[in-house]
Amino acid sequence: MKLRTNGGISLALQILAGLGLALCLPACLESNPQPMPATELNGGGGIPDATGSKGLDAMAPEDRHDEAVDYRLEMRSLVQEIAGYARTSNPGFVVIPQNGLELLTLDGAPDGPLAQDYVDAIDGCGQEDLNFGYPELGDVTPADMHDLLTAFLDRLEEAGRNALAIDYCGDDGQADESISFADEHGFIAFPADRRELDDIPTYPPEPPGANAEDVTELAQAHNFLYLINPGEFESKQEFLDAVASTDHDLLVVDAFVFDDPLTQDEVEGLKTKANGGRRLVISYMSIGEAEDYRFYWDAQWKESPPSWLAAENPDWEGNYKVRYWDPAWQAILFGSPDSYLDRILAAGFDGVYLDIIDAFQWFEDRRERATDEAGD
């Protein structure tokens, strides 16, 4: 899930072009990490080609009905429904979408009118590669992308929500820069030392702003740990022990470790920092792609796919784009005891960290390519 460039000029691009900004800027808004199957130790999201494309299939003729969908509106609506549903049982449930910052405004520009219902439904946004990591670990994010992302995140903070900034740093100096920049803007920093998000960085030795205070809401967090792949750990218990020994204010982890769901007791045990303070424990949850290593996957889908299942991501084997507005896919996500979100709620997580929010860009790209092909 590295960054990719849109295949055509979206509304946001047109607005940014009018402002004199480079047309490639929204390329930085696509998702990056997602958990690999527990049996795999490697990770990464695939490398863009020379044009920035990740090579996903063009729209098939039978998919042309997707053109009538407002992809951005549907993604906002899904996030809002997830938030509303979760808060019926846990009013303080934290909802943090990752990337897709264009959804914050109605016109996709950082100074545009806020999509207020969407902003009201979320507690913050995560954004990858703000300073470092585009396209590879330690690469400096291009200035135009950096500036655009920062403008969106500043706008988010002005709206009373919190920005989580993830940088993929190549050395300690970059980690220091990442933390310093986040501190200047009031963002919460996580300087990762691996794109795979499978370890606890050893630098800095203590999380930025480490403290023993209780953290019961996102606004109180000074730092966080983003650890969704268990590949560097020998067992589930080793993973739990390592995470429990940290002093991070916020943990973003997967609800499954080596395919084994975290129990209520295990989640509760993670909610105490090593120094004794309370912290938030948030579960990763992909809503824009289906993953064939998840509990909900039906092996028959590869031969007889449901209508909501779209193309496989060639850079992430076993990950498939989904028509996230389809009620059948949403029923997998929430609404019954065996659904994804309901399992997360039952385990006692404090919230969800929603990935592949920017799946709308993939569908927009396909629509633009189909329109171009029809005009040829």
Rounded CA separation 264/261 (Å): 10
Residue-level pLDDT at 55: 31
Cα→Cα distances 285→19, 192, 246, Å = 35, 19, 23
Beta 280-286 vs 289-291: how paired, if at all?
Answer: unpaired
pLDDT digits (tens, 9 = 90+) for 58-91: 334 345 467 789 999 999 999 999 999 999 999 9
Question: For a pLDDT cut of 70, what percent of the chain falls above it?
Answer: 82
Rounded CA separation 291/275 (Å): 36
Query: 210 near 247, Cβ under 8 Å?
Result: yes
Residue-level pLDDT at 39: 29
Query: 258 near 236, Cβ under 8 Å?
Result: yes
- Which run of H or of E encompasses 375? helix 359-375
Token pair 């209508």 is found at 307
pTM of the model: 0.86
Report residue 372's pLDDT band, with 50, 70 and 90 as the boundaries: confident
Residue-level pLDDT at 20: 41
- H-only helix segments in the chain: 11-18, 71-89, 116-121, 143-158, 172-185, 236-244, 264-270, 327-333, 340-346, 359-375
26 vs 301, residue with greater confidence: 301
> What angle (nearest 5°) sits at the alpha carbon of residue 223, between those of residues 122 and 261?
70
Query: 107 near 96, Cβ under 8 Å?
Result: no
Contacts of 374 (CB under 8 A, 6+ apart): none
Token pair 């991501």 is found at 313
Residue-level pLDDT at 376: 64
Cα→Cα distances 258→1, 45, 228, 229, Å = 21, 20, 11, 9
Task: Delineate the domains of the chain, giving CATH numbers in brackets.
Answer: 11-35+43-67+76-375 (3.20.20)
pLDDT digits (tens, 9 = 90+) for 243-297: 999 999 999 999 999 999 999 999 999 999 999 999 999 999 999 999 999 999 9
Tokens found for residue 83: 């938030």
Instruction: Report whether the peptide linkage leading into residue 305 is cis, meaning its omega lies within 30 degrees of zero.
Output: no
> What angle (nearest 5°) sits at the alpha carbon of residue 120, between those of residues 114 and 121?
120
Radius of gyration of the chain (CA): 19
- H-only helix segments in 27-142: 71-89, 116-121
Rounded CA separation 98/122 (Å): 11
Q: What is the mean pLDDT of the chain?
A: 86
Rounded CA separation 355/289 (Å): 9
Report residue 33's pLDDT band, with 50, 70 and 90 as the boundaries: very low
Residue-level pLDDT at 243: 98
Q: pLDDT at residue 24 above 50?
A: no
Burial code (b: 16+ CB inside 10 Å, e: under 16) for 83-104 equals bebbeeeeeebbbbbbbbbbbb
pLDDT digits (tens, 9 = 90+) for 39-64: 222 222 333 322 233 333 433 434 54
Report residue 375's pLDDT band, with 50, 70 and 90 as the boundaries: confident
pLDDT digits (tens, 9 = 90+) for 151-178: 999 999 999 999 999 999 999 999 999 9
pLDDT digits (tens, 9 = 90+) for 235-248: 999 999 999 999 99
Residue-level pLDDT at 65: 60
Query: 108 near 12, Cβ under 8 Å?
Result: yes
Rounded CA separation 102/124 (Å): 14
Q: How far is CA 100 from the centre of its chain?
A: 8
pLDDT digits (tens, 9 = 90+) for 117-145: 999 999 999 999 999 999 999 999 999 99
Give the number of residues written for the chain.
376
CA terminus-to-terminus distance, the chain: 31
